[in-house]
Amino acid sequence: MKKLLLVLLISAVAVPVLIKHRYGGGEHFPAVEISQVSFDSGALEIVANLPEPPGNIAVSDKGRIFFTFHPEGRPSLKVAEWVDGEAKAWPSMSFQTGEGEERYFQNVLSLRIDQQGRLWTLDNAHHGLGQTRLLAFDIESGEVVHEYEFSRDAAPRLSHLNDFQVSADGSSIFIADASIMGKRPALIIYDVANKTAHRVLENHVSVVAERYTPVVQGRHMEVFGIFSIRPGVDSIALDRQGEWLYFAAVTATKMYRARVADLLNRDLSDAELAKRVEAWATKSETDGITTDNAGNVYLTDPGNDAIHRLNASDGSLETLLQSTSIRWPDGMSFGPEGYLYFTCSALHHVIGRSQRHKLSQAPYQIFRFKPGITAPAGH
């Protein structure tokens, strides 16, 4: 009995130390200088007040608003449409509960609408412990029109298929595996017609988190003092001409990019592809990102309660909005009439918090504003 107690005592001490060593620690992210803000608070419109935190968002060219409730909030509804002031299960309740639907949503964070009128959902299946899956739905009927289940080679256990982008012609999908648990971040390239997926740039500097820990509205995001919220590649966006893919980890200080033609070229070795990745611009903390028709890159910045824009010509950072009401800005999508929509997941009130605390911080918002430059709707 004494030996058992000794083993339990050693384990109680050793396990947190090991977790801290692998997943914890990190200085505050370097401060971003914000000298002025381009838009005042009057430019910010509330689209929805929600009882639970949203994750990502996709707005159709007709103004239909689809979004996920953030998986970290353990929601009962995973994917919803905002209709008449209410979040309604989409495409059906069976996809939320699994009753009568084998392809039900397990852990969906990201969704996108492509130029072919399909709404895509990406299921990371609880960090790859379940079956990771892509589903495409006809946006009008809600019927599944494409499905793919990832192999363990493409999406190993402890992967985290976080966000993705669909090419304008609908032929290719680019996925960010943040791998916050597995520590094997990478990009995944999916060929829609051939239904094949492969990993590239695994553990390359461009997809690995730098050793900083986010601080959001005063909370140092190191859960229980041992696990820092520091995912690998998370932010991902295609330019509207289909030439460049932009990507980075939340706590990376650089925004990286690679030519789409290089990412799709299977004749390039991993080493050759790695040499073609560019460190394009200095950035803030980022979660969701998107691009406009002029080639600018928009950033959600949890650490500064802000929305920024990286200028296409020189990568300089412009702060568009800053407000304490912008609580951990997350996913982004352009919609019709020049609006840019974004969610606030307020993860500093969710991760490592009780359900009571999470509910006490409601409502959670979806916002929109007009940045002055447009882009096709859906992402």
Is residue 207's pLDDT more than 70?
yes
What's residue 22's pLDDT? 84
What's residue 7's pLDDT? 46
What's residue 374's pLDDT? 95
Is residue 33's pLDDT more than 80?
yes
Distance CA 111, CA 65 (A): 11
What's residue 102's pLDDT? 95
* Confidence label for 200 from pLDDT (cuts 50, 70 and 90): very high
**pLDDT tens digits for range 276-320:** 999 999 999 999 999 999 999 999 999 999 999 999 999 999 999
Distance CA 121, CA 134 (A): 6
Q: What number of CA atoms fall less than 13 Å from residue 308's CA on the CB side?
A: 27
Q: Which of 31-35, 140-144, 239-243 has the lowest mean pLDDT?
A: 31-35
Q: Would you give the end-to-end CA distance of the chain in angstroms?
A: 59
Mean pLDDT, to the nearest integer, of 260-267?
97
3-state secondary structure of 207: coil
| DSSP secondary structure of 44-103 | -EEEEEESS-EEEEEE-TT--EEEEEPGGG--S--EEEEETTEEEESS-SHHHH-TT-TT
Domains and CATH numbers, the chain: 37-369 (2.120.10.30)
Distance CA 237, CA 177 (A): 14
Q: pTM to 2 decimals?
A: 0.95
